[in-house]
Amino acid sequence: MRVRPALLLNNGNFYAKTSANADKVNLMSYDAESIAKLTAMYESQSPNAFIAFSMEGLPQDNDHAERFDKGADEEHSELSGCDYPCCTDRGFCTTWKGHLCVIGTVVVLCACCCYATDGFFGNWPFWPF
């Protein structure tokens, strides 16, 4: 049998609240025992909701590549162009060493291609090899 809270709590002020006075509710204080009884009463109204309460929606493990820039901490107003730590938001290298690496790689690749295609199939007549 459910007991109306107003009957249970001699020191609780049972109130009627409307949207107009939602912030202006006059209440008396409750002792710990009263609140414990209130909580028990609340739970007894819907026992099933308090029987099995398990955590749901835990993130699953995934195996996709993580490219987290642990040094990045600044705020951005736009999506950055690249999220590798060696790149700036605009897609450029963050250091001069990075620039040198990229330029060196492009030169080597070009040289290899030129060698493999015998001067880009004769289009570059200065190819010495």
Give strand pairing partners of 87. Answer: 93
- Side-chain half-sphere of 19: how many Cα atoms within 13 Å? 0
C-alpha–C-alpha distance, residues 56 and 71, integer Å: 32
**2 touching other proteins, by CB under 8 A:** yes
Binding-site size, other proteins (CB under 8 A): 59
Binding part of the chain for other proteins, among 5-13, 98-106, 110-118, 121-129 by CB under 8 A, reads: 5-13
3-class state of residue 119 by DSSP: helix
> Of 39, 30, 28, 38, whose CA–CA distance to 8 is shortest?
38
Where in 81-120 is the site for other proteins (CB under 8 A)? 82-83
**50 touching other proteins, by CB under 8 A:** yes
**10 touching other proteins, by CB under 8 A:** no
> Of 39, 35, 27, whose CA–CA distance to 9 is shortest?
35
Per-residue contact string for residues 65-84; x = within reach of other proteins by CB under 8 A:
-xxxx--xxxxxxxxx-xx-
The one among 41, 86, 93, 114 contacting other proteins by CB under 8 A: 41
Considering only CA atoms, give the Rg of the chain. Answer: 35
Which parts of this chain interact with other proteins (CB under 8 A)? 2, 4-6, 9, 12, 14-19, 22-25, 27, 29-30, 32, 34-36, 38-39, 41-43, 45-46, 48-50, 53-62, 64, 66-69, 72-80, 82-83
